[in-house]
A = this chain, B = another copy of it.
């Protein structure tokens, strides 16, 4: 396979070279189990303690707060919702999430609703911004937790997390923030906003897959999901993925160092990309917020055609891209995010989710802006939905064939 240009970083990124270098000794040389009291075990324990600090520093955690390592963001989101709900059931049975959340939040809220809990999904405006008035109204005396993402990986919209935290804090309800899409791309600070729980994913920070973390403010109690040897403060049992945790720590440190540069460089590339595509292609529209958006995200819909067909043609040109339903790409259902923002179903099917990353260059953007217009043109020419094309184009074609 020839070298592909990755415009699909939100689905997965290569582990950073420095991160992989930091991990390497922990596969064979420092193989100890942190629970072992002997020297090789204690080496692993120290490495994990160091990774906790590295991750904590990325998000402005206080020294006594906790960073609980998990198998990924899905487990961290499950632990935040399930763990908090079960532990604080006596205080109430209601949680609030938004319509833009990741499936690991939405489906966990649904799961909890079968266990005696209730949840409200707060809506968003046409740019995907959570309706803070509706959020305030949704709070009842049964509400024990609010879970809102920091930014949306699919459409790029950044939530007004300070306002949301203010609402939660005023109501004295702990706030969980899914920061998978934002960490490493924009500043995330739990202490500044008074966030109680926060989810991170290692791979989204260019760390290894299969690792994530749930930050918990020190006074927040959770019921474990996984019980056993009592690792991770007794909240997450299971022998630690030492090399993975070391990798996540290194990735967090690197992400913190590179944050300012990333923002500047990616914002520039992203804006070139959006501007280039919208200018060159008629009936193309940016999804998500025009300014409150992740520096690496461009989500663009193209009327009259299917996103799946565009991704296929782009792959022939060497571009890895996704339609705007990456998290559910096995189904062909339209993105729940776009639908929540009021995008028509037909239009939602035509959306491309473009997420840039560290290795992307101006040359990639230039090439993309060059190859995309003819693809769109070609697909629209074949599309039964296209405004310039009669609906029976396929019948005509078939007719031609038979002659």
Asked if A41 lies at the interface with its beta carbon under 8 angstroms from chain B, I say yes
CA distance A78 to B225 in the complex (A): 8
CA distance A216 to B344 in the complex (A): 41
Q: So how many copies of this chain end up in the complex? A: 2
Asked if A62 lies at the interface with its beta carbon under 8 angstroms from chain B, I say no
Asked if A134 lies at the interface with its beta carbon under 8 angstroms from chain B, I say no
Say yes or no: B28 contacts A203, CB within 8 Å.
no
Asked if A17 lies at the interface with its beta carbon under 8 angstroms from chain B, I say yes
Asked if A32 lies at the interface with its beta carbon under 8 angstroms from chain B, I say yes
Residue of B nearest to A23 (CB): B27
Chain B residue contacts of A244, Cβ below 8 A: 208-210, 241, 244
Given A75-B226, A240-B209, A328-B229, also A320-B14 (CB < 8 A): no
Say yes or no: A210 contacts B104, CB within 8 Å.
no
Contact of A11 among B8, B33, B228, B330 (CB under 8 A): B33
Contact of A20 among B28, B36, B111, B209 (CB under 8 A): B28
CB distance from A7 to the nearest CB of B (A): 10
Asked if A108 lies at the interface with its beta carbon under 8 angstroms from chain B, I say yes
Given A31-B13, A244-B209, also A74-B326 (CB < 8 A): no
Say yes or no: A36 contacts B322, CB within 8 Å.
yes
Chain B residue contacts of A226, Cβ below 8 A: 74-75, 78, 104, 225
Chain B residue contacts of A20, Cβ below 8 A: 27-28
Residues of A within 8 A of B (CB): 1, 4, 6, 8, 11-15, 17, 20, 27-29, 31-33, 35-41, 43-44, 70-75, 77-78, 102-104, 107-108, 110-111, 201, 203, 208-211, 224-230, 237-244, 308, 311, 315, 320-322, 326-330
23 A-B residue pairings within 8 Å (CB atoms): A12-B44, A15-B27, A36-B326, A37-B308, A37-B322, A71-B72, A71-B238, A71-B241, A72-B239, A74-B226, A74-B239, A75-B238, A78-B225, A102-B228, A103-B229, A110-B227, A111-B227, A209-B241, A209-B242, A209-B244, A210-B240, A210-B241, A230-B330
